[in-house]
Amino acid sequence: MAEQPSDGRLRLDTGVRRVPVLSGSRIVLVPVGDGDVVLSPPPPPEQVVDVPAAVRDALRFPLSGPTLEQTAPRGGRATIVVEHPSLPYPEAQLDSRPQALAAAIDELASCGIPDERVTILVAGGLEQRSGQRELERLLPPPRARSFRGRVLVHDAEDPELRPTASGARVNRALAETDLVLVVSAAETVLHGGPGTLLAACDAATLRDVAGAESLVEAGGAPEWRRAVAIEEGLGSIVPLLGVSLVFDLPRLTGTYRDYPHDPEAVRHAVRSPFRRVFGRLPGILRRDILERQTRRVTVIAAFGGSPSVAHAEALLRGVELRGIRLDEPVDALVVGAPWVGPHLPRERANPVSAASSALALALRLYRDTFPLREGGTVVLVHPLARSFEHGAGDPYSAMFNALRSAQDAAELVAAESAAARDPRSVDAYRAGRACHPLLPYADWAGCGPALSRVGRVVVAGCRDAIAARTFGFVPSHGVGSALEMAHGIAGGRARIGILLAPPYAPILVGS
């Protein structure tokens, strides 16, 4: 009988020697050898039943500093900063953040700040600016129709951004108010808490914090110190409070609701005849079926206080509850990348966004020790085809071509500088038609910490060798040949780790 231990590593009986991994919109089976480890998220923890009550308690009983009632000026103005909901990844259609935001607005009203004096600021960083469809999902539908305040979408190129003591320039709505309240989910060091304030800064500041070594270790990270400095600089102008939610991982609903944490669900996915039929469908039909799979993300806990204190406690709690424990680094790690990129709107993944999903996100969600041995192999399972969405994907196409033609790092830096000044690209970002032209460069920079530690990145199932070699990766026809390369690089039998994702869970390495 299969067993699911509390450390998140999936124990499979001898009847299951293969596990399914997502490769774009396809499902491939990865063989599991003796000594290999299947890294699966732990089962769902207990969730908060009443999210609005948890938010109210967090504001009334903060971890540090005064309460909202003690801080909010009666009849004053308030700015609620919310994050761009690109995380969790992949997207969860059933999300608790609208309830949390509505509860925060109600709490402000009870403290004497009615909703007509409230501004909701969507801090999206360098991502494509939210449109009407995304803004309508910020609040539950009845509450969205009755809300009488303002809703603003941050513009990192706005000439009227206000300077702060930290040196960063922030959105005017953060400086021209009587209170700033951050309502966010503690996903990573840079997403939630002070990272939400960072996402409301100028483009140059946002680009400078793209290379964090680990996304779940705040201590000593310069990116965390930068975000806290922005919080402190803004705090010298206006009172700051924060609510940080602890999210569970996005979980499937319906037939596959126990995948991938339940061994029985993994076994069912391997043996299901639907998987074989699914693999023969055209790509557009496969993507449509995958996009129709509903996911739910639930709240585990909520903390209040200063944004950095609440976020640090929430992040620590979330990593412990959602993390996969790995006793020691492996020789090779198999990581699948899904059919959509990590940013909103969820467009079809291009080579840059696919590499970013695996290397800049999955391989930076570790604590204590990097999950691969020095010089180990990453097996990236994705076709890596050059497919760029027209309009929204233009910045990625331009960045990929610049990377392909650059002879050295200096030429790539020059291309990035030119992209940041390109008026057509900047105008497309400000109009909400595309992401900021610096975002693809930030995504690639996020891959740097992982690439500096691994020996090879082998692309299993690669359909575009030119794209793989542009990144310095090794193309491979299938998973079998990629694993053979990993064994050869290890000088014998490599210990393989297979990450069942997305969603990507934190990996806690060591005792």
Where along the chain do its domains lie?
A: 9-42+323-509, 51-245
Under 8 Å between Cβ of 258 and 10: no
- Beta strand extents in 382-473 (DSSP E only): 456-460
Q: Any idea of the CA torsion for 45, 46, 52, 57, to the nearest 10 degrees?
A: -100
Residue type, 362: A
**pLDDT tens track for 143-181:** 999 999 999 999 999 999 999 988 999 999 999 999 999
**pLDDT tens track for 79-112:** 999 998 888 898 888 899 999 999 999 999 999 9
How high is the pLDDT of residue 11?
54
> Which fold is adopted by the domain 51-245?
Rossmann fold (3.40.50)
CA pair distance 96, 106, nearest whole angstrom: 16
Q: What is the distance between the terminal CA atoms of the chain, rounded to a whole angstrom? A: 27
How high is the pLDDT of residue 3?
47
* Residue 421 exposure: Cα atoms within 13 Å on the Cβ side: 5
How high is the pLDDT of residue 15?
46
List, in sequence order, every residue forming a beta bridge with 37; answer none if it has no partner: 497
Looking up tokens 């693999």, which residue turns up? Answer: 279
pTM of the model: 0.93
187 token code pair: 């996903």
- Residues comprising the chain, all counted: 511
How high is the pLDDT of residue 233?
94
Residue stretches of the chain with pLDDT short of 70: 1-16, 220, 511
> Which fold is adopted by the domain 9-42+323-509?
2-enoyl-CoA Hydratase; Chain A, domain 1 (3.90.226)
